[in-house]
Amino acid sequence: MVSTSSQFLMDITNNALLSNQIDQNTYEIKAQTTESITSVEDLVDELPDNTPRYIVLSYPLTLKDGRKASPLVMGYWLPPTCTQSARMLYAAAVELFRSKCGVSKLIEFEEEEDFEDLQEKVL
């Protein structure tokens, strides 16, 4: 997990997405996809309907003073249809993954509607 995340951080571009899942047999956090996205809708489409995911996202935005920024944030996708065991597994590892990726901002998403105000949550 660390090497994939580190490579992602070195190759990061605007709108980059790294989706990660926990292997339920080995309990390893594995990168599932690394790609560019063009909108929040693309991000939502990439997430599974009934399995949690950790996502690391470079989200480009314009700050209030006009400067451009692409903060690196971690999202924690926890859909309401996932199993209780999956909820517990991902909840137990969220802080470990956050510290390994070196992101300071963690945003939890439980419904697709939670993504609508992503920019406000990033700030």
| pLDDT at residue 9 greater than cutoff 60 | no
Residue 6, SS3 per DSSP: helix
From residue 30, how far is each of 21, 119, 120 by CA, in Å? 5, 27, 29
What residue type is assigned to position 104 of the chain? S
Is-contact 76 97, C-beta < 8 A? no
For the question of whether the overall pTM of this predicted structure is more than 0.85, the answer is no
pLDDT at site 54 = 93
Highest mean pLDDT among 28-42, 45-59, 79-93, 109-123: 79-93
| pLDDT at residue 27 greater than cutoff 50 | yes
Residue 49's contacts (CB-CB under 8 Å, 6 or more residues apart) are 79, 81
Is-contact 107 76, C-beta < 8 A? yes
The residue among 41, 1, 38, 32 whose CA lies nearest residue 16 is: 38
pLDDT at site 12 = 44
Kindly report, residue by residue over 62-103, the tens digit of the pLDDT: 888 999 887 788 999 999 999 999 999 999 999 999 988 888
CATH superfamily of 2-52+73-122: Severin (3.40.20.10)
The span from the CA of 120 to the CA of 83, in Å, is 29
